[in-house]
Amino acid sequence: MEHRKCDIRVVVLPPFYRTWWFLTLAVLAVTAAIFFAFKYRVNQLKRRQAAQEAFSRQLLDSQEAERKRIAVELHDGLGQNLLVIKNRALLNSLTIPDERARTQFNEFSDAVSLTLEEVRTISHDLRPPHLDQLGLRTALIAMIEKVAASSTIEFKYALDALDGFIAPDDEIKLYRIVQECLNNILKHSGATKAEIRITTDEGRLEVTIRDDGRGFTPNGNKPGIGLQSITERVRILGGIHTIQSVPGQGTTFKLLIESKNTA
């Protein structure tokens, strides 16, 4: 009897976790998990940044509101009372026959006048009246001319039309940025000349403030409160700024803001 050999093919199937479809799904699942984790982290950072910006804006707005309130109180309250005292002193100096008493009332009136002028200066610094009454450009020019009149530094300026470029509530922030830069020039630069240029062209607002003073090393020291406040206001305005300075060669501050109204 003849025996025939039979070939039996045995196919060993891999476990499911080693199949191509399972490996493909695993790679897709890991990729999706990484993507959604990254997206979640980015959104979390954006929410945190938005909350920080909202808090900073609210803090600055509340500071300006308080400054405005104090300015009004100084001008309308204390200022008016000092004016009444001054007028009464002048009246007494004109009606009292005693010459010595008239002299004392005149001196008293002069002292009250100086105090009244200081109160008005403080009130104007707290909240520039020109900003609400005549607009941003006029307020900036008034500030520059006031600073120039109180200093030996030669100031030159050129300002384009600015009103309406940024939101009315944000105009005070730009005003404070320029104000802080001028204060730094007066206090720290030792300059003889300074220039302020503000231009608006094709939806871009550019501020350039330079002086020929002693300069400094921007990264050499921890930024002071003034520079920190400038940085915070620039961030809220959605702008970018640079400070270029070399010891002995002056300082240049530049600010760029893109108009949000540009289509």
Give the tens place of pLDDT for each residue, 68-93: 777 667 766 777 777 778 888 877 77
Q: Are 196 and 162 in contact (CB under 8 A)?
A: no
Q: Which of 82, 89, 93, 127 is nearest to 109 (CA)?
A: 89
Banded pLDDT at 153 (limits 50, 70, 90): very high
Higher pLDDT, 221 or 31: 31
Higher pLDDT, 232 or 263: 232
Residue 132: both structure tokens together: 């609400």
Give the contacts of 166 (CB within 8 A, at least 6 positions apart). 174, 205, 237, 257, 259, 260
pLDDT digits (tens, 9 = 90+) for 201-231: 888 999 999 999 988 776 655 556 678 888 8
d(CA 35, CA 32): 5
Q: Is 196 left (phi over 0), alpha (psi -120 to 50) or beta?
A: beta
Residue 39: Cβ within 10 Å count: 10
Encoded amino acid at 221, one letter? N
Torsion, CA 169, CA 171, CA 174, CA 178, rounded to 10? -130
Task: Give the pTM.
Answer: 0.66
Banded pLDDT at 263 (limits 50, 70, 90): very low
Per-residue pLDDT, averaged over 158-170, amounts to 87
pLDDT digits (tens, 9 = 90+) for 113-125: 888 777 777 776 7
Higher pLDDT, 51 or 219: 51
Q: How far is CA 206 from CA 3, 96, 137, in A?
A: 100, 60, 14
Which range has highest mean pLDDT (53-67, 79-93, 198-212, 248-262)?
Answer: 198-212
Give the contacts of 191 (CB within 8 A, at least 6 positions apart). 153, 185, 211, 212, 213, 214, 250
Give the contacts of 16 (CB within 8 A, at least 6 positions apart). 22
Higher pLDDT, 7 or 246: 246
Q: What is the pLDDT of residue 118?
A: 76
Average pLDDT, the chain: 82
Q: What is the pLDDT of residue 160?
A: 93
pLDDT digits (tens, 9 = 90+) for 116-150: 777 777 776 777 777 878 889 998 999 899 899 88
DSSP assignment of 3-20, as one string? Answer: PPP-------PPPGGGSH
Q: What is the pLDDT of residue 177?
A: 92
CA 28 and chain centroid, separation: 46
Higher pLDDT, 10 or 222: 10
Percent of the chain with pLDDT over 90: 21
pLDDT at 179 exceeding the cut of 70 = yes
Residue 69: both structure tokens together: 């309130």
Instruction: Please report the domains of the chain, with CATH numbers, ordered by start residue.
Output: 13-127 (no CATH), 130-258 (3.30.565.10)
Q: Are 159 and 107 in contact (CB under 8 A)?
A: no
Higher pLDDT, 102 or 234: 234
